[in-house]
Chain A
Amino acid sequence: MKTFELTRADDPGQAIAVAAKANTAQQGADIRFIAGGTNLVDYMKLNVETPRKLVDVNHLPFDKIENLPDGGLKIGAVVRNSDLAYHPIVRKNYAVLSEALLSGASAQLRNMATTAGNLLQRTRCMYFRDTAMPCNKREPGSGCAAITGVNRSLAILGTSEHCIASNPSDMNVAMAALEATIHIGGPKGERSVAIGDFHLLPGNTPNRETVLEPGDLITHVTLPPSSPGNRSLYLKLRDRASFEFALASAAVVVTMDGGKITRARVALGGVGTKPWRSPEAEGELTGQSATQAVFQKAAEAALRDAKPQSQNGFKVELAKRCLMHALKLVTQTA
């Protein structure tokens, strides 16, 4: 691990001022915020991340889960994944988020990992993790070893010729289906970004993973109110029964009127270079009856643009079946 200076931020303004001097945005930057450290310390040990300065943001006043006047929910940036997953309101109104969080990592890691940290979680692509290998995300211009290499676990949606790294987060997939908003404090003031616009497609700059600019600090995430009768569910398929990243996952939020789906939100995990919201699938579901034929159409629509690599062609069918099964389960209970 490269050595670094460790500082502790006691107010957000101070943290932003320090990080504003960074050479680039948070991921891969020379000045990094650190909270749970589960992703960052791991990557620092591998010399994938080599910050010269760490700003400990654990003591900033972003550790609360609060009800909003509009019926929505405000989740502080350093709320731990376990606290969010077990929160009674989350379990009741945003089950998909609780299930996604509890399907991710281990109990120990969930006690450490934070909301903002999870949003910024970096890929598990083995070539990104190995500094001896080329990787456009880690070292722009060095090439992508995954496209011609071991790519079984990598993305089939949103890829480019420069990067096929999958976003590893489960929480992000649920957040995408719940249409979360990310609130950011920065050198130029406060702003908010819809989760769909927060993560960037790799294109020819896979090193840039989010819209964050140097100094930008995620302060909290808000969820819109959960309408009565909403049902949601997270289904994750993986190589092991527990403590494993998704090969394919589906977050579904539906509103039913009798046997009819009046509103649907669908996002896929494990298959996209970013948390993969599928308006195409939602379009096939809205106003339709909850039948296998409709689910099949939605699944076909969601994976229509899939570009499998040499080893992950199975993910196309797996993601379809994952989504179909999730839709079946969630509409059964609705």
Chain B
Amino acid sequence: MSDQGKTPEDAKAEAHSGSEFGRTTRRRFLSRLGMASLLASAGPVLGERSRDEAAAIPETKEAMAALEGAIPVTLRVNGKKYDLQIDPRTTLLDCLREHLHLTGSKKGCDHGQCGACTVHVNGRRMNSCLCLAAMYQGDEITTIEGVGQPGNLHPIQEAFVAHDAYQCGYCTCGQIMSAVALLTEPVGPEDADVKELMSGNICRCGAYQNIVAAIQSVRQSARPEKAG
């Protein structure tokens, strides 16, 4: 049998590598896939260049070129300080996702129309896709990662679970960030008031009814609110 001759250590190593594979995130998998397709499509382009030109664009040099015009920016996100070098065009959303790898904030429309990118700046909800990251130095930025974690959820997060306030989940982080901020805003008591103040968060699956129910359940219960 093929397993014969395997030491217990081998089996352990296999199991370990298996679990490593299991831990590969969707994001990591997709970015590897993206890299592979980029290399595949770059092939013919490189083939047309002279050998000298091709040799002149090693990976490190490209990385250097990408940094050209980058400016130093210090951001405070979820209580943690980050010193970064970023292109001034970088939006807060792209900075969070691509530089800090806080991928909870989502890119939907990228034009302030869908709310998937909602974060808190000094406790107020904003569309991070329309913020230039370099303009938010010195501000306290909170993302979904800073609102609650498994085992220590924010009441709004718990309510979203309890009320099934999502389907595909893509808009959910933005919905939750909006809802957490809404708790501290002047909002009337009715469902219609909540709907009005949540209109900047679009849900493609149409989970609106349950989203409103989740938010109202938290507002109506006397539970103390966590700072968002």
- In the complex, the answer to whether B111 meets A42 with C-beta atoms within 8 Å is yes
A226 near B: Cβ within 8 Å?
A: no
- In the complex, the answer to whether B185 meets A107 with C-beta atoms within 8 Å is yes
- In the complex, the answer to whether A86 meets B186 with C-beta atoms within 8 Å is yes
Which residue of B69, B182, B186 contacts A3 across the interface (Cβ within 8 Å)? B69
Encode contact with B along A57-73: 1 for CB under 8 Å, 0 otherwise. 01000000000000000
B143 near A: Cβ within 8 Å?
A: no
Which residue of A34, A45, A58, A108 contacts B115 across the interface (Cβ within 8 Å)? A108
Task: Give B136 Cβ to nearest chain A Cβ, in Å.
Answer: 10
Task: Give A1 Cβ to nearest chain B Cβ, in Å.
Answer: 5
Residue of A nearest to B195 (CB): A242
Q: Provide the residues of chain B in CB contact with A54, threshold 8 Å.
A: 88, 132
When chains A and B are docked, how far (Å) is the Cα of A8 from the Cα of B126? 21
Interface residues of B in 173-190 (CB under 8 A from A): 178, 181-182, 185-186
Residue of B nearest to A110 (CB): B200
B146 near A: Cβ within 8 Å?
A: no
Q: Provide the residues of chain B in CB contact with A112, threshold 8 Å.
A: 126-127, 130-131
Residue of B nearest to A6 (CB): B88
B148 near A: Cβ within 8 Å?
A: no
Known contacts A34-B135, A56-B135, A86-B186; is-contact A109 B197 (Cβ 8 Å): no
Q: Provide the residues of chain B in CB contact with A56, threshold 8 Å.
A: 135
- In the complex, the answer to whether A106 meets B132 with C-beta atoms within 8 Å is no
Task: Give B141 Cβ to nearest chain A Cβ, in Å.
Answer: 13
- In the complex, the answer to whether B89 meets A4 with C-beta atoms within 8 Å is yes
Q: Provide the residues of chain A in CB contact with B115, threshold 8 Å.
A: 106, 108
B125 near A: Cβ within 8 Å?
A: yes
- In the complex, the answer to whether A107 meets B130 with C-beta atoms within 8 Å is no
- In the complex, the answer to whether B199 meets A243 with C-beta atoms within 8 Å is yes
Which residue of B89, B125, B199 contacts A111 across the interface (Cβ within 8 Å)? B125
Q: Provide the residues of chain A in CB contact with B197, threshold 8 Å.
A: 107
Q: Provide the residues of chain B in CB contact with A134, threshold 8 Å.
A: none
Task: Give B128 Cβ to nearest chain A Cβ, in Å.
Answer: 9
When chains A and B are docked, how far (Å) is the Cα of A258 from the Cα of B78? 58
Residue of B nearest to A4 (CB): B88
- In the complex, the answer to whether A45 meets B111 with C-beta atoms within 8 Å is yes
Interface residues of B in 5-28 (CB under 8 A from A): none
Residue of B nearest to A8 (CB): B135
- In the complex, the answer to whether B127 meets A38 with C-beta atoms within 8 Å is yes
Interface residues of A in 48-105 (CB under 8 A from B): 54, 56, 58, 82, 86, 105
Q: List 26 A-B contacts (CB under 8 A).
A: A1-B89, A3-B87, A6-B71, A6-B88, A34-B132, A37-B135, A38-B130, A41-B130, A42-B130, A54-B88, A56-B135, A82-B124, A86-B186, A106-B115, A106-B127, A107-B125, A107-B200, A108-B112, A108-B115, A108-B126, A109-B112, A111-B124, A111-B126, A112-B126, A241-B196, A242-B196
Binding site for B on A (CB under 8 A): 1, 3-6, 8, 34, 37-38, 41-42, 45, 54, 56, 58, 82, 86, 105-109, 111-112, 241-243
* Minimum-distance CB pairs A-B, first 4: A106-B200, A242-B199, A243-B199, A6-B88
